[in-house]
Structure 1
Amino acid sequence: MPAPSATAVELRGVRLDRGGRTTLRTVALAVPAGSITAVLGPSGTGKSTLLAALTGELVPAAGEVRVFGQPVPRGARALLEMRKGIGVLLQGNGLLTDLTVAENVALPLRAHTSLPEPVLQRLVAMKLNAVGLREAAGLYPRELSGGMARRVALARALALDPPLMLYDEPLTGLDPIASGVIMSLIQRLSRSLGLTSIIVSHHVRETLPIADQAVVVANGGIVFDGTPEALEASGDPLLRQFLRGEPDGPIPFERAREVA
């Protein structure tokens, strides 16, 4: 586990292209280890593309991405090894419908370890207990509410005890109560386990209160990087438009809708 003062994620002069088009350009970002960083911005501005660069799914067209001091590798074997230390919570949960909750959580452990079955089952129970769903172990995804399914996906993402957690729009499709539960869980688990958490979201009011660092992505780059308090106090017209949800301003609504 890296030292608390270390930098967990660093991007240096990164340019990210997708579909023959530059999505993000000249990105520079440092995420302290043990922090919760909120990556905010309108839909279609490249927030999820940024996560793809951290996991090695997308190779930068320029610049360098480093995770815990090491460049994101290109080789398949080295990339697989690096990804064991990164937990990812996807928008769609990604649960396998023909497996029980416990079996879904056990998948990473079966794929990447050779633990004895009793030890594996104990770990699964611990992960489910951490998200408040130990009693749901025998249920199938179709029997879960949206909030419960998201918590199962979180337990699975934590199965290998990764020091870095990436959340891609964790509140999509959830009601306000379920959203509050998920954000509270992310904050509690990040603090208690000493995780570095990066949350990509457009849910500003739910995400900022638990964040140490706020990053706003818009118009092809990072337009703000600082504390949540500094973001909310900013008089920048672009940031004010985003925070207030105003249709007119420096962020072109029509362009954002087309790329989303």
Structure 2
Amino acid sequence: MQASTTPLVQLTNVRIERGGRTILRDVSLQVPQGSITAVLGPSGSGKSTLLAALTGELRPVQGEVTLFGKPIPTGNRELLEMRKSVGVLLQGNGLLTDLTVGENVALPLRAHTRLPVAVRERLVQMKLHAVGLLSAGDAWPRELSGGMARRVALARALALDPPLMIYDEPLTGLDPIASGVIMSLIQRLNHSLGLTSIIVSHHVHETLPICDQVIAIANGGVVFQGSPAALEASQDPLLQQFLHGRPDGPIPFDAAPRARTA
């Protein structure tokens, strides 16, 4: 399923801290171009911290993060330019309640382009059509179901045609049917638009079927990187505990205090 073996995203010996505490250490991973990669792990394992490093919100204290073959820039203007190439679907959707669905999707186009109004409107229609909501352009966010709101947020994240999409817990708060719709959309859009996708999630069984690669994070680092089939075949007690939701195992119910760095 992978379109290329060239890593679109690469982390090399990365250590990330928050407030003087080491959250992730010695993280090395690659995301091939054209792939769908799942980043799985229990709550509090550092998945959101990894996402923040990919968008440049957090700087690693050690190692290097590269996107599109280049280190993440440090200058604000350069970082903003890079972020135009990264679409992020937030778990909270982030729709503005005083704007219509169409106006929400148009926000990135208004902020980052000088396209004529007619062109913007046509692009908004195209993005809403891609997520199956062309007829909802004049609706208000309060009129949408949870699944519909998530799809509008997806359309907005795709507005600038980013080659890299990052999904932060895309199934949070959704019922099984809406979850199935979202995962199917992610897979279809990834292949039809030639995207590279990273899905940050703890929903194992809904995410694995559409992925090319799985990266599992636990206990402050990467504990697995490979295919979904290899993950499910693994006999590692930690992976077995996570996959099958067992309360007892290497992953403690009560998180141990994170050690502060010297």
What TM-score do you get using the length of structure 2 for normalisation? 0.96
Aligned counterpart, 2:147: 147
| Unaligned stretches of 5+ residues in structure 2 | none
Q: Give me the whole-angstrom Cα distance separating, in 2, the residues matched to 1:74 and 1:84.
A: 15
Aligned counterpart, 2:50: 50
Aligned counterpart, 2:75: 75
Look up the equivalent residue of 1:65 and give its one-letter code: V
Q: Give me the whole-angstrom Cα distance separating, in 2, the residues matched to 1:233 and 1:5.
A: 24
| Unaligned stretches of 5+ residues in structure 1 | none
Shift of 1:151: 0.1
Q: Give me the whole-angstrom Cα distance separating, in 1, the residues matched to 2:232 and 2:251.
A: 17
Question: Equivalent residues in 2 for 1:20-169 (5 A)?
Answer: 20-169=20-169
Q: Give me the whole-angstrom Cα distance separating, in 2, the residues matched to 1:176 and 1:257.
A: 35
The 8 Å contact of residues 101 and 141 in structure 1, kept in 2 or not, is answered as: yes
Partner deviation per Cα, 1:86-132 (whole Å, 9 max, x = no partner)? 00000100000000000000000000000011111000000000000
Instruction: For residue 224 of structure 1, give the secondary structure of its aligned residue in structure 2.
Output: strand
Partner deviation per Cα, 1:139-174 (whole Å, 9 max, x = no partner)? 010000000000000000000000000000000000
The 8 Å contact of residues 44 and 256 in structure 1, kept in 2 or not, is answered as: no
Instruction: For residue 167 of structure 2, give the secondary structure of its aligned residue in structure 1.
Output: strand
Q: Give me the whole-angstrom Cα distance separating, in 1, the residues matched to 2:36 and 2:51.
A: 15
Shift of 1:257: 11
Shift of 1:5: 3.2
The 8 Å contact of residues 64 and 71 in structure 1, kept in 2 or not, is answered as: yes
Aligned counterpart, 1:255: 255
Aligned counterpart, 2:176: 176
Shift of 1:256: 7.5
Q: Give me the whole-angstrom Cα distance separating, in 1, the residues matched to 2:7 and 2:216.
A: 19
What TM-score do you get using the length of structure 1 for normalisation? 0.97
Quote the RMSD (CA, aligned, Å).
1.2
**% identity of equivalent residues:** 75
Instruction: For residue 135 of structure 1, give the secondary structure of its aligned residue in structure 2.
Output: helix
Shift of 1:4: 2.9
Aligned counterpart, 1:6: 6
Aligned counterpart, 1:238: 238
Look up the equivalent residue of 1:148 and give its one-letter code: M
The 8 Å contact of residues 146 and 173 in structure 1, kept in 2 or not, is answered as: yes
Q: Give me the whole-angstrom Cα distance separating, in 2, the residues matched to 1:175 and 1:20.
A: 38
Relative to structure 1, is the Cα distance of residues 104 and 16 closer, same or farther in structure 2, using a 3 angstrom cutoff? Answer: same
Instruction: For residue 209 of structure 1, give the secondary structure of its aligned residue in structure 2.
Output: helix
Q: Give me the whole-angstrom Cα distance separating, in 1, the residues matched to 2:6 and 2:116.
A: 34
Instruction: For residue 59 of structure 2, give the secondary structure of its aligned residue in structure 1.
Output: coil
* Runs of 4+ residues deviating >6 angstroms: none
Relative to structure 1, is the Cα distance of residues 98 and 19 closer, same or farther in structure 2, using a 3 angstrom cutoff? Answer: same
Aligned counterpart, 1:216: 216
The 8 Å contact of residues 87 and 165 in structure 1, kept in 2 or not, is answered as: yes
Q: Give me the whole-angstrom Cα distance separating, in 2, the residues matched to 1:174 and 1:74.
A: 36
Q: Give me the whole-angstrom Cα distance separating, in 1, the residues matched to 2:49 and 2:192.
A: 29
Look up the equivalent residue of 2:29 and give its one-letter code: L
